[in-house]
Structure 1
Amino acid sequence: MLTNTHSGAVGASDSAGNSYSVIADQSDGAGDRTLILAAVGAKSLAAGGSVTVTFPTSSEHHAALDAFSGVSAITGHSSATAASGPFASGAASASGGGIVFAAAGIQGGENATWSAGFTALPTLLVAPADQLATAYESAGSGSAQGSGSCNHQWMAAVVTLAG
């Protein structure tokens, strides 16, 4: 999540030689962006390994690194934004046996809560109260979206991963 950022490329690589591609990049129209980057079939990081993220100038930035094993492909993604209220990423196609991974960048307010079925990962907070919330659930067949509750400006993205 980038707050008060300039336009420009975002990328990532790690000490195991993996490169990460931008899968979702949702702007709120006011210089804030929430992104999901992924590397499918990535080599595991050794103990003490590192990930380097590059991005344009930003007043605040949050980054979470979540790893899922057995992912064979990205099957869909979607993203959306709104000024307040419950968040929903929009629908992405999913296949049974995979994973639905979602991220919500929220500009202030109360902590986000995820809809039933999602397992919340630790929420990253930056003063005064901006937050990057992530969660996952098992994918069914059809479509999936990342959704939940908050009370401020939000940007939400979802990616579906085949197992």
Structure 2
Amino acid sequence: MLTNTHSGGVGASDSAGNGYSVVADQSDGAGDRTLILAAVGAKALGAGGSVTLTFPSTAEHHVAVDVFSGVTGIGGHSSASAASGPFASGSASGGGIVFGVAGVQGGENATWSSGFTALPTLVVSPADQLATAYESVGSGSFQASGSCDHQWMAAVATLTG
């Protein structure tokens, strides 16, 4: 999640030689962005391994690195933004793992809908937050959704294996 930034390229690489692609890039129209980057079929990082990110100048940035084994592709992705209220990413199809992310500008911590396993929420400044969650599913159409009480940007990607 990039706060008070401008458009510009975002990328990642790691010490094992994996390259990452931008899967979703959702802006709130006020200079904030929430993104999902993924490395499919990646080699494992060794002890002391690192991920290097590149992004445009920003006031704040939040980064969560989540690892799912056996991912061989991205089944679909979607994203959305709104001024407040319940968040929903839009729908993505596929199956395997549904990975969701919500960037929230202030307020109480986001909560996820039933079925999702919340990962630790990262909070920077008084209340800006990056929340991530996942759910294992069969095939179909899915969205990452939940509740929050401030401006949000949400994205979902289905990870196939």
| TM-score bracket, shorter-length normalisation | over 0.9
Percent of aligned positions that are identical: 81
One-letter identity of the residue aligned with 1:107: Q
Pick from 139, 150, 154 the counterpart of residue 156 of structure 1: 154
What is the rounded CA distance, in whole Å, between the counterparts of 1:120 and 1:93 in structure 2?
20
Return 5+ residue gaps in structure 2 as ranges: none
Give the drift of 1:26: 0.1
Instruction: Render the CA deviation track for 1:25-61: whole Å, top value 9, x for unaligned.
Output: 0000000000000000000000000000000000000
In the alignment, what sits opposite 2:108? 110
Contact 1:139–1:160 (Cα < 8 Å) also in 2? no
Return 5+ residue gaps in structure 1 as ranges: none
One-letter identity of the residue aligned with 1:45: L
What is the rounded CA distance, in whole Å, between the counterparts of 1:156 and 1:28 in structure 2?
10
What is the rounded CA distance, in whole Å, between the counterparts of 1:19 and 1:72 in structure 2?
14
One-letter identity of the residue aligned with 1:116: S
In the alignment, what sits opposite 1:92? 92
One-letter identity of the residue aligned with 1:47: A
CA RMSD, aligned part only? Answer: 0.5
2:48 pairs with 1:72: no
Give the drift of 1:128: 1.4
TM-score, structure 2 as length reference: 0.99
What is the rounded CA distance, in whole Å, between the counterparts of 1:28 and 1:154 in structure 2?
7
Give the drift of 1:140: 2.3
What is the rounded CA distance, in whole Å, between the counterparts of 2:138 and 2:83 in structure 1?
30
Instruction: Render the CA deviation track for 1:6-31: whole Å, top value 9, x for unaligned.
Output: 11000000000001000000000000
Report the count of equivalent residues. 161
TM-score, structure 1 as length reference: 0.98
